Structure 1
Amino acid sequence: MSMSARLRAELLAALPGHIQRPVYDRQQHGVGIVHLGIGAFHRAHQAAILDDVLARTGGNWRSVGISCRSRTVREHLVPQDCLYTVVERASEGERLRIIGTVADVLVAPDDPAAAIAVMARAATHIISLTVTEKGYCRDAAGGLNTEHPDIAHDLAAPSTPRTAVGLLTEALRQRRLRGATALTLLSCDNLPQNGRVLKRVLLDFASRTDPATADWIERELACPSTVVDRIVPATTPEDIAAVAEVLGCCDDAVVVTEPFSRWTIEDRFGGPRPRFEVAGAQLVSDVRPFELAKLRLLNGSHSTLAYLGSLAGFRFVHEVIADRDFRALVQHLLRAELAPTVPAAPGLDLQAYQAALLRRFANPALRHQLSQIAMDGSQKLPQRLLEPAQSLLERGLPFDGLALAIAGWIRYALGRDESGGRYVVDDPLAGRLAAIADLRGADAEQFVGALLELSEVFGEPLRNHPAFRAALARQLQSLLVRGARATVRALVQQLSG
């Protein structure tokens, strides 16, 4: 094979023998799933699990992916017959497998009607989503943000929507009119009770555009909540080049991940579904404990490392967790401040999960950039760090580690490193954060007070809690004056003393 050739179906047989490839005939399996937001995470997680399901049980469970923004993923996948490589990397080596579940990729901005049509087909039984927290376009109260410019557009022109919410609502309207039922919407985003969040914004939208569809959504639509757990760093040009050396051809759609993978799904489907459990997924009656464990222990400690580690000059997760003081801070957070906020549940071993997280963070082969985790902090902070802090406050328990982690986000929001250099704060509220930083950033108490007024981030109980405000200001002052390394070390010494 030529290194310039693109991966495609006719080349599968010629790939090196150690590379896993689909063992099923792709053409014999129809499409039963549409996925909104076909980015790297979906391709490394849900699509890989579906690949295992098809290998074990068959069925019409291939998928059509819809890109809600860019043409890039279509340009990468379609010339490759929608085949791509998942690289699982660990310190002891890597494993490559070719995934065959994706049948086609559509680009919603180019042709919203085509995207809507494939979701409205009677043969589509599941529509899944990974559109990130900001893709749900919620307001501070958790409902639909009707002032969002794209939502305002979709409400005015519902047949040519720009948002995932608008696309879904129009597809559901068409399904209702055609009498198609038995549909499940499966949110796979890092939001508490993501199924209920999705159904709420859809109802809010539909009630403004077509009340009959809102009634149908309330009555017919199943939106189980799910928890997804796999670390997927951004693919680099070096990753693509390394995979090409192994394959003997080029794969522009490579995704890199870790060996660990978990998917917990509320067993509340509206119709036919794949047998996810044969590929290791957990189907449970209540995902809430698993959800809190993942959002708080994994994502909360990840965000802590991202903000404080970036300020301290680290670039990758494995580097910062190798630092003795940062590792001690994360261990304390997991054991003493995050795990106590997660209820017990059958099949959920929090001690084992904490140990696994520390091993996963230390994986040097993954090279997970802190800047990737730090993105969209205003959307992530509430469920990752603020809700556990509020839980501890309500019970009168210490929250020193969480106060430092949250202060780390506030310090990061200044957009200046400890040497005074500027960096981009990639956040939907970046403009407002920058304006507040310019006015109040020099004074820790004023900066904390101004940011606490962001109702999209901080709820009223925390905003008006004197101990919470004081703890944030104290830790932020230390970060401003002493820097991240010294502040982390001081807290670790205090906690161990």
Structure 2
Amino acid sequence: MMRLSGAKLTHLRPHVLRPGYDRAAVTPGIVHLGLGAFHRAHQAVMTEAVLRAGARDWGIVAASLRSPATRNALCPQGGLYAFAEREGAAERLQVIGALRGLHVAPEDPEALLAAMAAPATRIVSLTVTEKGYCHDPASGALDEAHPDIRHDLALPVAPRSAPGFLVEALRRRRAAGTPPFTVLSCDNLPANGATTRRLTARLAALRDPDLGAWIAGEVAFPCTMVDRIVPATTDEDRARIAAALGLQDAWPVVGERFSQWVIEDHFPTGRPDWAIAGAEFAADVAPFELAKLRMLNGAHSALAYLGYLAGHGTVADAAADPAFSAFLDAFWAEVMPHLAPPPGLDLHDYAARLLSRFRNQALRHQTSQIAMDGSQKLPQRLLGTIRAALEQGRPIDCLVLGVAGWMRYTVGVDEGGAPIHLRDPLITELSQACAPGLADPAALADRLLAIPAIFGEDLPRHPVFRPAVQAALARLVAQGARASVLEAVR
């Protein structure tokens, strides 16, 4: 079968939506850090709508900060790829043409810096996951001992980290008299714009206090909330999509029909009209962000750990299990009292829609995919709600069971004795804490609670939280995940 490329677009099946514009006339206006599936199924798809509507100066130059795999797959295709929007048995295919350049930062950091420093670049956006910000998840401060941060301070002109690239590119623009680009974080961090500003300004200040002050005061870092479920692409997806396209695509992406993007409207040098694609511009993103982080992401993480332990390989399978469906209802009931939703958002309706989205069998979203990097996710997805509930004396049974599920999962052996492949930036600390195994669940909980980058200094000493986690972990070890979930909802 022929490979997808610009010269082969006429060979696509008639039902496939394709770029209806001259890609050669599109110039880059955005540099995106994090060439992963989520960006290609969310921001790039919305930018594609802007290009189809007639804009020609908002092409995307995208960069991977780690692996060359996606670049290697897309370069022979001229940056083209297919997005498969799936809902039930229906699948809508679109070829996306918004990517106008591809980089792999470790191979040529200078090329990426040059693209970021170019005057035509007005936005630098990020989807580098929580761990990509090189911060302490519990405190939100820059991890100044992080190997990438130490490298970027020692060799700032060839950075490794996302903050390092931002600082060096902004320094170059300042030196050249070029207005700063807008930094647009699209990751699941609380107040992601403000957090990115704080981390970037701190790293800059460690290099040059004047540069740090300039970034803190002159660079725009709008907050955003992004929402679309995008599972990892499988070989089955590739085969099905190739047959539907009539062309081979080395790395298509799959996502649900639902998509949401709420953006603080602060772009001093301009922005695409993403409202064409359904983006919402708001003065305050925080209520949208908190509801999504704590209800969708929090439930996703709890379901991932407990569902995996119970033998459910996907979110859809876990959410279809009556025990876990009841658990989700009880989980959301614990979360909702601590949210102030934006006008027009009914949290009970939101929970019902989330359950329907989780049950979408067309998306084979692996629980193991969501479970990775738990040390970076727990503070904002579960622990923030737990702190709020403890202050008010409200129930935390399901929230704590989610934390205990992470602890049981982190031991690295499932309920049948099979190994679990752990992926986490704190893998060394976690492995040391879990080395003695499951014989003493209370001691295991204490060792994991003693990692301040995750739990801070307050939660391990809390007279309600600590024994609740110990008890929940003991039940998981003794009874298994599904029985523990049933007991929690009873």
Is 2:4–2:248's contact at 8 Å kept on the other side of the alignment? yes
1:20 equivalent among 17, 20, 43: 17
Corresponding residue for residue 338 of structure 2? 341
Is 1:222–1:270's contact at 8 Å kept on the other side of the alignment? yes
Is 2:288–2:341's contact at 8 Å kept on the other side of the alignment? no
1:217 equivalent among 215, 224, 228: 215
CA-atom RMSD in angstroms: 1.2
Corresponding residue for residue 410 of structure 2? 413
Corresponding residue for residue 107 of structure 2? 110
Letter in 2 for 1:421: A
Q: Secondary structure at the match of 2:212?
A: helix
Kindly indicate whether residue 40 of structure 2 is the aligned counterpart of residue 38 of structure 1: no
Q: CA deviation at 1:313?
A: 1.0
Kindly indicate whether residue 487 of structure 2 is the aligned counterpart of residue 476 of structure 1: no
Kindly indicate whether residue 448 of structure 2 is the aligned counterpart of residue 451 of structure 1: yes
Normalized against structure 2, the TM-score is what?
0.98
Is 2:126–2:186's contact at 8 Å kept on the other side of the alignment? yes
1:237-257: CA deviations, max 9, x gaps?
Answer: 111111111122210120011
- Give the whole-Å Cα distance in 2 for the aligned partners of 1:141 and 1:92: 44
Q: Secondary structure at the match of 2:406?
A: helix
1:338-357: CA deviations, max 9, x gaps?
Answer: 12221131243322221111
Q: CA deviation at 1:83?
A: 0.6
Q: CA deviation at 1:56?
A: 2.1
Q: CA deviation at 1:423?
A: 1.5
Corresponding residue for residue 224 of structure 2? 226
- Give the whole-Å Cα distance in 2 for the aligned partners of 1:436 and 1:402: 22
2:172 equivalent among 166, 174, 195: 174
Letter in 2 for 1:32: G
Q: Secondary structure at the match of 1:264?
A: strand
Runs of 4+ with deviation above 6 angstroms: none
Q: CA deviation at 1:460?
A: 2.6
Comparing 445-454 and 98-107, the one that deviates more = 445-454
Q: Which runs of 5+ in 2 are unaligned?
A: none
1:184-217: CA deviations, max 9, x gaps?
Answer: 1000011001111111111111111123322221
Is 2:401–2:473's contact at 8 Å kept on the other side of the alignment? yes
Is 1:440–1:446's contact at 8 Å kept on the other side of the alignment? no
2:433 equivalent among 433, 436, 452: 436
Corresponding residue for residue 83 of structure 1? 80
Corresponding residue for residue 287 of structure 1? 285
1:317 equivalent among 297, 315, 318: 315
Corresponding residue for residue 151 of structure 1? 149
- Give the whole-Å Cα distance in 2 for the aligned partners of 1:349 and 1:81: 44
Q: CA deviation at 1:57?
A: 4.3
Kindly indicate whether residue 158 of structure 2 is the aligned counterpart of residue 160 of structure 1: yes
Corresponding residue for residue 388 of structure 1? 385
Corresponding residue for residue 53 of structure 1? 50
1:381-406: CA deviations, max 9, x gaps?
Answer: 01101111111111111111111111
Is 1:66–1:106's contact at 8 Å kept on the other side of the alignment? yes
- Give the whole-Å Cα distance in 2 for the aligned partners of 1:189 and 1:101: 20
Letter in 2 for 1:259: R
Comparing 263-272 and 279-288, the one that deviates more = 263-272
Q: CA deviation at 1:182?
A: 4.7
Letter in 2 for 1:179: G
Is 2:295–2:351's contact at 8 Å kept on the other side of the alignment? yes
Q: CA deviation at 1:320?
A: 0.8
Q: CA deviation at 1:467?
A: 0.7
Q: CA deviation at 1:101?
A: 0.5
- Give the whole-Å Cα distance in 2 for the aligned partners of 1:464 and 1:311: 28
Letter in 1 for 2:445: V
Is 2:438–2:444's contact at 8 Å kept on the other side of the alignment? yes
Q: Secondary structure at the match of 1:457?
A: helix
Q: CA deviation at 1:174?
A: 0.4
Corresponding residue for residue 190 of structure 1? 188
Q: CA deviation at 1:141?
A: 2.8
2:124 equivalent among 121, 124, 127: 127
Is 1:181–1:220's contact at 8 Å kept on the other side of the alignment? no
Kindly indicate whether residue 293 of structure 2 is the aligned counterpart of residue 259 of structure 1: no
- Give the whole-Å Cα distance in 2 for the aligned partners of 1:215 and 1:116: 21
- Give the whole-Å Cα distance in 2 for the aligned partners of 1:207 and 1:441: 45
- Give the whole-Å Cα distance in 2 for the aligned partners of 1:318 and 1:460: 36
Is 2:48–2:97's contact at 8 Å kept on the other side of the alignment? yes
Is 1:440–1:450's contact at 8 Å kept on the other side of the alignment? no
Q: Secondary structure at the match of 1:456?
A: helix
- Give the whole-Å Cα distance in 1 for the aligned partners of 2:121 and 2:80: 21
Comparing 440-449 and 232-241, the one that deviates more = 440-449
Residues matched between the structures, number: 489
Q: Secondary structure at the match of 2:432?
A: helix
Is 1:295–1:384's contact at 8 Å kept on the other side of the alignment? yes
Q: Secondary structure at the match of 1:257?
A: strand
Q: Which runs of 5+ in 1 are unaligned?
A: none
Corresponding residue for residue 7 of structure 1? 4
- Give the whole-Å Cα distance in 2 for the aligned partners of 1:56 and 1:347: 29
Kindly indicate whether residue 96 of structure 2 is the aligned counterpart of residue 96 of structure 1: no
- Give the whole-Å Cα distance in 2 for the aligned partners of 1:341 and 1:31: 42
Q: CA deviation at 1:151?
A: 1.1
Corresponding residue for residue 353 of structure 1? 350
Is 1:129–1:187's contact at 8 Å kept on the other side of the alignment? yes
Letter in 1 for 2:78: D
- Give the whole-Å Cα distance in 1 for the aligned partners of 2:13 and 2:167: 45
- Give the whole-Å Cα distance in 2 for the aligned partners of 1:160 and 1:202: 16
- Give the whole-Å Cα distance in 2 for the aligned partners of 1:132 and 1:51: 23
Q: CA deviation at 1:64?
A: 0.2
Comparing 287-296 and 6-15, the one that deviates more = 6-15
- Give the whole-Å Cα distance in 2 for the aligned partners of 1:218 and 1:313: 47
Is 1:21–1:97's contact at 8 Å kept on the other side of the alignment? yes
Q: Secondary structure at the match of 2:455?
A: coil
Q: Secondary structure at the match of 1:439?
A: coil
Corresponding residue for residue 246 of structure 1? 244
Is 1:186–1:224's contact at 8 Å kept on the other side of the alignment? yes
Q: Secondary structure at the match of 1:20?
A: coil
- Give the whole-Å Cα distance in 1 for the aligned partners of 2:485 and 2:250: 40
Letter in 1 for 2:112: A
- Give the whole-Å Cα distance in 2 for the aligned partners of 1:227 and 1:66: 21
Comparing 376-385 and 84-93, the one that deviates more = 84-93
- Give the whole-Å Cα distance in 1 for the aligned partners of 2:342 and 2:235: 42
Letter in 2 for 1:300: G
